Structure 1
Amino acid sequence: MIKFGVIGTGWITDSWISAADKSGKWQLHAVYSRRQEQAEAFGSKYNCSNAYTSLEGFAADAGMQAVYIASPNSHHYEQSKQMLQARKHVILEKPATPTLSELDDLFRIAKEQGVYLIEGYRHIQEANFKQLERLIKQEKKLGQIYGASFTYASYSSRYTNVLNGEVPNIFSLDFSGGSLVDIGVYPVTFAVALFGEPTGQSYMPFICRTGVDGGGVIILQYDNFGVQINQSKSYTSAAPCEVYGEKGTITVNATTDISTVKHWNPQTKDTQELAGSYKKPEKPNVNMEEEATEFARIVEEDDTAAAAELEKISRIVIKVTEELRRQNKILYPADKE
C-alpha cells in the first residue's frame, strides 16, 4: 500500500480517496488544510488522524510516500515543488501548472529527487479510451485521419455565481482559472494523446466579466487534418466526440466516462460497437479508479517509460493551453513573473 496525503479537501479529493481505496493500492495517511478543524474533520471521514496546517510539517511526515494535490490552480507549483523536494511522489490534479516553465521546473526537481510527478488526467486512463487509442493507432481502424471533433461543454453552477457578481476561484485570474484550464484541457488532452503535438492552435473564446474565458472553440492543426474542440463552463452541449477517416467514423459519447465507441463503415453502412464494459461511478464520485490503479503501478514497478509518456502529454497540453491563453490575453500572475 502506498501511504499518501492530500492537499485540498473538496469533492474531487473525496473522489480520489474513494478510487484509491477501491484500487487496493493506496492508503490515506495525512490531510493538509489551512484550518486545523477542516483538516481534522476531513480526515475523520476516513479514520485518518494525521492533520496538518503546516506544509513544512506535512512534507516532513516520514510515513507518507506520496501526495495528491487538488488545491486551486495558482497553488499547484509551489505546493508541488515543496512536496517533490521532500521526496514525495506527487499526483497533481490538472492543470498541473499555468505555464510550461513551471512544469519544466517541477519535472526537473522530481527527477533530481528520484520521485514521480504525474498529472491527474483520469480520462486517458479509462479502459475505453485506451480501446479507442488502440483502434486508431495500432489497428488503423480509420486508415488515414481526416479530422476530429471533440466536445466538453457543461454549465457550471459557479458560472451562476459569476452572473450574480461574484468571483469564484475557478473563474478568477488570480487563481489561474477559466474554462480552458478546467474542462478544456480534457478534450485538448484527448487530442494530444491520440494524435500528438499539434503544429498550431487557435482559440475563439467567450470572455466573461471576471476576465477569464467562459468557453469557446479551439482549433488544433495537424499536418493533414484539424481537430475542432467545443468546450465551456458557461453553456452545455450534448454533442458526441467523433474521429473521421478514410475507413469511416468513430463516435464516442464523451471525452470522459466513455461508455460507447462506435465505428460506422462507409462501405457497408453498418455501425459496430467496439467499447468494452463500463462501470458508472457512484455519485458524487467521478471515474478515477483506473487512474489510481495505473499511477500506483507506475510507482510500484518504477515504470519510467510509462511516466515519461505521461510527462510528454502534460508538457504538450500546457504548451498548447498557455499559447491559447496568451493569444487571447488571458494572463495569470505566473505569466507576469
Structure 2
Amino acid sequence: MATITFGTIGTNWITESWILSAHKHGQWKLHAVYSRSEDQAKKFGEKYGCSTAYSSLDSFFGDSGMQAVYIASPNSLHYEQAKQAMKAKKHVLLEKPATSTPEELDDLFKIAKGEGVFLIEAFRHIQEANYKLLQKSVNEEKRLGPIYGASFTYASYSSRYNNVLAGEVPNIFNLEFSGGSLVDIGVYPVAFAIALFGAPKEQTYVPYVTRPGVDGGGVIILRYEGFGVQINHSKCYNSSAPCEVYGEKGTLTINATTDISTIKYLDPKTKKSEELAGPFKTVDKPNVNMEEELVEFARIINEKDTKAAEDLERISKIVIKVTSDLRRQNGILYPADKR
C-alpha cells in the first residue's frame, strides 16, 4: 500500500497522538507542519523528523509534496481550512466536530466530490476493533434480540474548566470558537449511538450552560422506534459509569465509548456473563489510540473506496444535524448559525 504524505494544522496533544499513531505503520509520513508561528511549527515538526514548516496557509496548501492534511485547529476554523485544503487537491482528515453547522459540512462534502478528494471526519472510536465487534453483536448476530434501550456516558473534568471558574474564556468554552461539551465530548457518545442504531427520530437535551454561554455538559435523549438512548456527558465533572445496551435477550455492558476494552454480555435467564471484546490497544497517556482509524483512512484513500467514505459521510451528517439541533433547542448559537 502506498505511503501517504500528510501535513498537520494544530500543534496540540491530539496532533501528537495522530502523528505517533501514523508513524506506527508505513502508510503515513509527516511531510509538513503549519502553525501561526513558524518557529513553533519547526520545533513541533523536528520532534517527528519533519523539517518543513509553514506559518502561511497559502504556502502550506501549495506544497505539492503533501497529499493529505490532518486538521485539529479550533472548531470554528475547520470549515475554511478544510475548504482551502480541498481546493488545493488535498485529502482532508478533519478532527471532530468537522464543522460548526450542518450547512458547512454539506458544502465541504460537495467540494470534496467536485475536487476528487476524500473528506473524512476523525471519529476514532467507531473505527476501534472492539466497537466493530459491538456493532456485529447488536446488528448482525442479533445477540440482544429487540432493543429496549441504551445508556452511554462520557464525562471527564477538563482542566480548562478551572479557567472558566476563574472568569476566563478558553477556546473550548467559547461560543466564538464553536466550543462546548456537546461538540467536544458529547459528540463521542452521540456518534457511538448513531453508528450503532442510525438516525434518531428526534432528540432532546437538558444542558448545564456555563458562564461563557456554552454547555458544560448535560443529558441527551435520542428517540428511536420503540426505544430510547440516554447520553450523559460533561467537561465539568467525572463519571465512571459504564455504557450499556439493553435487549430482550440480555444486556451488553461496555467500559466506555472510547478505548473499549470490555464488552460483557449478561444472559438474564442463566445470569451468566460472557466477554466479547478482543485485544485492546493501549498507548501512553496523554496520547490516545488512533491506529485503527489511520489504517482504515489510508485504505480508503489508496483503494479509492468511495462506498466506505460515503458510509462515514452519512454518519457525520447525521451527527452534526443532531448536535446542531440540540444546541439550537437551548439557544446555544455560534456565529456560523447566524450566517
Please classify the TM superposition score into its range, dividing by the shorter chain length: over 0.9
SS class of match (1:254): coil
Q: Deviations over 1:227-260 (max 9, x none)?
A: 0000000011110000000000000000000000
SS class of match (1:47): coil
1:141-160 paired onto structure 2 within 5 Å? 141-160=143-162
AA partner of residue 103 (structure 2): S
Q: Aligned pairs, how many?
A: 337
Q: Is residue 168 of structure 1 aligned with residue 170 of structure 2?
A: yes
Q: Deviations over 1:162-212 (max 9, x none)?
A: 001110000000000000000000000000000000000000000011100
Moved over 4 A (4+): none
1:146-295 paired onto structure 2 within 5 Å? 146-295=148-297
Please name the residue that 1:27 is paired with.
Answer: 29
Question: Aligned partners of 2:230 and 2:101: how far apart in 1?
Answer: 23
TM-score calculated relative to the size of structure 2? 0.99
SS class of match (1:23): coil
Question: Aligned partners of 2:89 and 2:136: how far apart in 1?
Answer: 35
AA partner of residue 264 (structure 1): L
TM-score calculated relative to the size of structure 1? 0.99
Question: Aligned partners of 1:8 and 1:185: how far apart in 2?
Answer: 20
Please name the residue that 2:334 is paired with.
Answer: 332
AA partner of residue 181 (structure 2): S
1:57-206 paired onto structure 2 within 5 Å? 57-206=59-208
Please state how far the C-alpha of 1:301 moved relative to its aligned partner.
Answer: 0.7
Please state how far the C-alpha of 1:24 moved relative to its aligned partner.
Answer: 2.1
SS class of match (2:311): helix
Ranges in structure 1 where 5+ consecutive residues have no aligned partner: none
Ranges in structure 2 where 5+ consecutive residues have no aligned partner: none
Question: Aligned partners of 2:137 and 2:120: how far apart in 1?
Answer: 25
Please state how far the C-alpha of 1:280 moved relative to its aligned partner.
Answer: 1.2
Question: Aligned partners of 1:119 and 1:32: how far apart in 2?
Answer: 19
Question: Aligned partners of 2:256 and 2:169: how far apart in 1?
Answer: 29
Please state how far the C-alpha of 1:47 moved relative to its aligned partner.
Answer: 1.6
Question: Aligned partners of 1:189 and 1:284: how far apart in 2?
Answer: 22
Question: Aligned partners of 2:198 and 2:26: how far apart in 1?
Answer: 32
AA partner of residue 127 (structure 2): Q
Question: Aligned partners of 2:168 and 2:26: how far apart in 1?
Answer: 41
SS class of match (1:309): helix
AA partner of residue 211 (structure 2): R
Please state how far the C-alpha of 1:281 moved relative to its aligned partner.
Answer: 1.2
